Amino acid sequence: MRDLTTGVKYFLEGQRWVARHRRWWGFGLLPGLIALVLYIAALVALGFWADDLSSWATPFADDWDSTFRSLLRWTLTVIVFSGGLLLAMVTFTAVALLIGDPFYESLSERVEEMEGGAPPKPDIPLWREILTSVRDSLSVLARVVAFGLLLFACGFIPVVGQTVVPVVGICVSGFFLTTELTSVAMQRRSVPLRTRLRLLRGRLLLALGFGVPLVLLFLVPVIAVFAMPGAVAGAALLVRELVPVPDPDPSDDPDPVPDEEIDEDNDDATGTVPAS
């Protein structure tokens, strides 16, 4: 239970951090706002064309009675739009992270610097960073879809499908949301997705304590936009516990200056004149 409360603490700490640093909060809003505009445009287009799509998908119903044909196509229209809305909710964070990779990278690094130091950024080209982010996001999305199909099938089980399955679904979403949000700080540490998943599974309650409250907030994409900077900040704090930044080793300092030379330099600096 301690990990669960610690995860919630990082969720709250991230929101508090951006509340104290309003400039960085505004900076982190930009990718979410861009993603929100794109999603709204896509959903409006889907709503406009959903009826035509339903008609195109059910040519066999053209000869049906008008009442049954309308009922079938209206039901299919609702399913199509609901599916698009669900897909938007599931993928919003991944798309916002992809759009805002440079923004969130700067925000996450700033959080770490103010909390005791950030690890050096890997010396890899930007295009490779973006390619890695896209690949990891698609891999996480594939896992989400697989779990989603399984939970959808379990939803038809009486009682369990109406009680246990929704709770499990929120927990699964919370875990993978944490996986996505920690990707920024994890990639800065060169931690691959497979290792990231293993680390989060090993601290499952920590991941759920952080991700589940965000899932409940992110059910409304508009709220997700305003909570996103704090989520990235909180994820950076969480990663610092999972993969701490090593303290610099004084023995790694190249060409250490002997104490004698330091004393001589100090004498020169104070203007001491040798005795004649």
Model pLDDT for residues 213-255, shown as the tens digit of each residue: 998 887 776 787 888 899 999 999 999 989 887 665 544 444 4
78, 100, 81: which is closest to 89 by C-alpha? 81
186, 180, 178: which is closest to 122 by C-alpha? 186
Residue 204, pLDDT above cutoff 90: yes
Give the pLDDT of residue 54.
76
Residue 268, pLDDT above cutoff 60: no
Q: Per-residue confidence at 165, pLDDT binned at 50, 70, 90?
A: confident
pLDDT, mean of residues 143-147: 86
Model pLDDT for residues 28-59, shown as the tens digit of each residue: 888 888 888 888 888 888 777 877 777 777 77
CA dist 23 and 154 (Å) reads 45
Instruction: Show the tokens assigned to 166.
Output: 């929704």
Give the pLDDT of residue 255.
46
CA distances from 125 to 98, 128, 132, 209, 253 (A): 16, 5, 11, 34, 27
Average pLDDT, the chain: 80
Give the pLDDT of residue 9.
94
